[in-house]
Structure 1
């Protein structure tokens, strides 16, 4: 009898890579993530291939670069023709369940202008079976609270504010009024355990999403005071935000335009005005939200242990993107900085324990998750997939010709909540950048703005742009060629391996 094979894909939101204890964040308490790192392989040089949430999740779940799936911003539709992980799993006999969200705007050609999904930030990606959806507009969670007997305020989002408050002035260690037992993290965990307990002995795939440590940066007790602001890592930024802004026009736009309000409900002022004490408090709250998620994962892991499923289950832990957390005076996930793009990835393969506890330094990208899951289950990735299976790396075998650099993209066209395209005098299709980055150099190419070049050995915080320095002209040329060659090698290729011949249709082996 074939061994049962299950997959647990854990996708947290806005968790950056340097907040993983196995990668050096020894100030954090995450015993369950620590266990996963001990039993699996932790990837040190892992990035999302794009930000923010919608585009990042589109890449994660299609295995395609932004340049190919073209769901380039939150609210921009995902073309229905693309294969995704949910659809691919159905082809090999799995019924893929999803808890959380994918922030996917549907293809308007499959619906109509009055479809209510076009009034929200994003909905669920086709192919998955929702068993604990957050979308649209968090209705699933708020309905769960009401069913539990919790009286919702007129403004439902005020549950994340301290008791008696309608706003907060900024970073705070006060707890949210919603108790931890009724938090969004608790909701997702209950949905996960309900799903798993209903599966019996059947094999399963579960996308288990958590909203945290996404803002608002207010944690329920006791997580609000679990960490001291003084214990948080130091900020990476220059003396003033104006010095940072001088680096590039896009950075100047964001430093002048990002409000604190999206991160602390009701707060005013620009993010660049936050002082070090406020940022350390924000980071302490962020760390508390991380530990809350970790405790929730412990409940899920315990169930898999108790039912004997831990040793049948591929567990992948990752995030959609990172978070600036005040570095470079920024909040959120934007632009070209490492804090937005470097994310955790841990893979625990129950069929390969030889690499347990290992830190893998190879360059890996979010587009690698889909082919990894399909490979482990005996399937094959779509021809168009831009990623590569990580199963060989997990098993300690680095494939010949593995990538020698990271590649990621960002599209900054206007959306209803941000208009950099208009402010910078660009057209919609000029509002884009891509990054080629290796251990030494980071090159940022813009479609219609000046490029950037950073020497990561001498300037790891990326303060000094060398792109205009004549002494580095050869490096700029070399990395611009790398960027162009990378894009050419990964151009859309769904049908390019077919050809007509006098004998009829022929399919070439890539």
Structure 2
């Protein structure tokens, strides 16, 4: 019998807060299947994304590189042609890597045209899919606006009898009010309506089924090893969910907002610009929170139930014991905390993510909890190592988590970093600064978190005494705050001085050519004797 292939199921939810799972402490939202995964694996308490917005965060996760390295700093800004992602690296070592769901990748059309690459070719398609082979690519958002091609999910719904021009929008993300009038889930007012779709046909079960179909096909064909990226569209807005999840939670399950009046009176231009924006004014309203948060909780509960279905199926079909399972998110959701809506800034509600990893090889670490500072870019080199690939430190800027997963507890890093480009956001318009200055960076260590804002004072939080991040010490004269500001700012500047783009040659190449000139090139020698003293001989050109 051949040795069983080792596979990876890489699951990502979209806009899922770290603290909206019961294994992370939510008191009302019970997620027993993800809790069981954590009990059978390792749960990370301090995992951070490298940009708190969909596209850039995913590009970091998929490439294993920071935004300043790959350049995709905002949604719709593509990875440039030639920027390789985990699927490209894994393919080189014989691992099939497929996408089921969302990547938020848009192709570099100008780069493809410049190099004469047909977008419909295998190379062009893999570039457009962020290095993955598409089993069922579906970003879900704006399916008929040209943002991405119409997804297979719309065609699936039409096959089920939903023959509208856009069943994703008109059924899966809309509901019928008491008078039978169709109401769009884009409007927050209607978040408590049941989505006009049977639960079994909604997006999360559909994607789960498609992942199971891929795994079944791979198993039947003997193909392997593989990495399947199951990337859910929810609980990202529109905040609307089918029955029975639409009324599973109510206003009584909504936790009080984490915010203070001092925050609303902030003098920080960027934070104030966000708080004053329409999106944040809406989400800061209690009536809005009482509409959207129960729906958000229902969407999360649906994901957990689908995890139960998926995990049971894997166990029944002999895939559980040879598959690494990773569950995470691309960023969080403020949900009105800090007077904010959406994501964008670096409070834990936005930049901190759930991360659960079950490594079938790490039996002794079942149920372990890690407080190590972990970055989402650590997943790509971890997968590389899991499949036996050689390390690629010249490309991957993340760290392989294998030793940590196996209980060896190495110190991964002293600081975690994240970046944000708000050049397209209303806050920049309110501030009136130039787009090249609309930049934010986060650096945090075991105790402190600093946001460096180009052109403005920093924001600083003591995560030990103020875990809710309500007291901004960015302008404080207190010695501890001043020392932390100086130390974290220097750590950030040291990070920016690293080799972020020297990735076409590995470190060994530089050692191999150290002090050497190319063959036949002689520089600085006086005569033949000088050359002979270095153990070299002159070879005249022919």
In the alignment, is the contact (CA less than 8 A) between 1:255 and 1:271 conserved in 2? no
Cα distance in structure 1, aligned partners of 2:506 and 2:434:
31
Preserved contact between residue 279 and residue 342 of structure 2 (Cα < 8 Å): no
The TM-score, its normalising length taken from structure 2, stands at 0.84
- Native 8 Å contact 2:284 2:337 kept in 1: no
- Total equivalences in the alignment: 483
Report the TM-score when normalising by structure 1. Answer: 0.89
4+ residue stretches of structure 1 with deviation over 4 A?
Answer: 153-156
Structure 2 distance, partners of 1:396, 1:350, is 13
Which residue of the partner structure matches residue 538 of structure 2?
none
> Among residues 139, 145, 148, which one is paired with 2:160 in the alignment?
148
Asked whether the 8 Å contact 1:102–1:124 carries over to 2, the reply is: no
1:23-422 counterparts in 2 under 5 A?
23-112=24-113, 124-135=128-139, 136=148, 138-152=150-164, 156-159=168-171, 160-163=173-176, 164-167=181-184, 168=187, 170=189, 172-199=191-218, 200=220, 201-203=222-224, 204-239=226-261, 243-244=263-264, 246-259=266-279, 270-272=281-283, 274-275=285-286, 277-382=287-392, 383-399=394-410, 401-414=411-424, 418-422=425-429
The structure having more radius of gyration, on CA atoms, is: 2
1:239 and 1:281 map into 2 onto residues whose CA distance is 23
2:458 aligned residue (451, 464, 468)? 451
The separation in 2 between residues aligned to 1:349 and 1:11, in whole angstroms, is: 16
Q: In structure 1, what is the Cα distance between the partners aligned to 2:4 and 2:152?
A: 35
Match of 2:233, SS?
coil
Preserved contact between residue 245 and residue 255 of structure 1 (Cα < 8 Å):
no
Q: Secondary structure at 1:210's aligned position in 2?
A: strand
Residue 466 of structure 1 and its aligned partner are, at CA, apart by: 1.8
> Structure 1 residues 162, 456: CA separation in 2 closer, same or farther (over 3 Å shift)?
same
Could you tell me whether the CA contact under 8 Å between 2:282 and 2:288 is conserved in 1? no
- Match runs of 1:456-471 below 5 Å: 456-471=463-478
SS of the aligned residue for 1:444 comes to: strand
Q: Is the 8 A contact 1:40 1:358 kept in 2?
A: yes
Alpha-carbon distance change, 381 to 286 in structure 1, aligned in 2, over 3 angstroms: farther
User: Which secondary structure state, in structure 2, belongs to the residue aligned with residue 354 of structure 1?
Assistant: helix
Q: Contact 2:33 / 2:308 at 8 angstroms: preserved in 1?
A: yes
Aligned 8 A contact 2:254 2:290 in 1: yes
Deviates further, 14-23 or 483-492 = 483-492
Match of 1:265 in 2: none
Stretches of structure 1 that go unaligned for 5 or more consecutive residues are 118-122, 261-269, 506-510
1:282-317 residue CA offsets vs partner (Å, 9 max, x unmatched)? 222111101111122222212211111100101111
Cα distance in 2 between the residues matched to 1:19 and 1:112? 44
**Structure 2: stretches of 5+ with no match in the other structure:** 121-126, 140-147, 520-542
TM-superposed CA distance for 1:138, in Å, is 4.9
Distance 2:482 2:376 in 1: 31
Query: In the TM superposition, what whole-angstrom CA distance separates every residue of 1:28-68 from its partner, at most 9, and x where no partner exists?
Result: 22222122111110101111111211000000000001111
Q: Deviations over 1:117-171 (max 9, x none)?
A: 9xxxxx9434211111114255321111001222336685132222122345626
**Offset at residue 245 of structure 1 (A):** 5.2
